[in-house]
Amino acid sequence: MGLKIWGSSCSCDEPQRIIHKRLPNPNPKNFNVVRTVTIGKYLVAQVNYPDCTNYEGNKVLVFKNVTLRKFAKLDTIDPHFCDKHLAPIARFVPTSEGWQMACNFVKLMYERER
């Protein structure tokens, strides 16, 4: 995860290369879903990117209007914000506290929209 001031750090326009060394940015085609929770139209997911170095490749992502069924069928999950593909609406630090914060955020959003 890097900071990019102008524009998205999304990698959807970059050609996908086979990378043999671990890089700080995740390969959106190489991931494992660790856990998910759905609250209303929100989905919180912890995703691990084995090729990513920071936080051992773990990301906590929040999606809106994505069912668990649709999420389970994805062959690409890019954790960066982008308007060209399915992208998270929020990310949280991938710790137990970050997971709880993501779930609390989703609960607040769900209650607000009811």
H or E stretch at 60: strand 58-64
Give the model confidence (pLDDT) of 13-65 as tens digits.
555 555 455 567 899 999 999 999 999 999 999 999 999 988 999 999 999 99
Give the model confidence (pLDDT) of 60-93 as tens digits.
999 999 999 999 999 999 999 988 889 999 999 9
**Predicted structure pTM score:** 0.81
Q: Are strands 90-92 and 42-48 parallel, antiparallel or unpaired?
A: unpaired
